[in-house]
Structure 1
Amino acid sequence: MATGSSVRFASLSLVLLLHLFALAPFSIWARPASFLQDFRVTWSDSHIRQIDAGRAIQLLLDQSSGAGFVSKSKYLFGRVSIKIKLIPGDSAGTVTAFYMNSDTDTVRDELDFEFLGNRSGQPYTVQTNVYAHGKGDREQRINLWFDPSADFHTYSILWNHHHVVFYVDEVPIRVYKNNEGRGIPFPKFQAMGIFSTLWEADDWATRGGLEKIDWSKAPFYAYYKDFDIEGCPAPGPANCASNPSNWWESPAYQQLDAVQARRYKWVRMNHMIYDYCADRSRYPAVPLECVAGI
Structure 2
Amino acid sequence: MAEKREEENKDDGKDSHFPVMTKEVLEVLNVHPGQWYVDATLGQGGHARAILEAGGSVIAIDRDPKAIEKARLELLPIFGERLRLTCMNHAGMGEFLPSMRVDISGVVLDSGWSMAQASENGAGLSFDAEGPLDMRMDPTLERTAMDILEQQSAEELAAIFSNFGEEPLALPISRALVQSRSRGRLPRTPKELAAFVSGVYYRKGYRRSRRHPATRVFMALRIEVNGEIDSLVRGVSGVRSILGSGARLAVLTFHSREDREIKHLFREWVREGWGRLLQSKPVLPGKAEIEHNPRSRSAKLRVYIAN
Which band: TM-score by shorter chain?
under 0.3
Greater share of helix: 2
TM-score (norm 2): 0.21
Greater share of strand: 1
TM-score (norm 1): 0.22
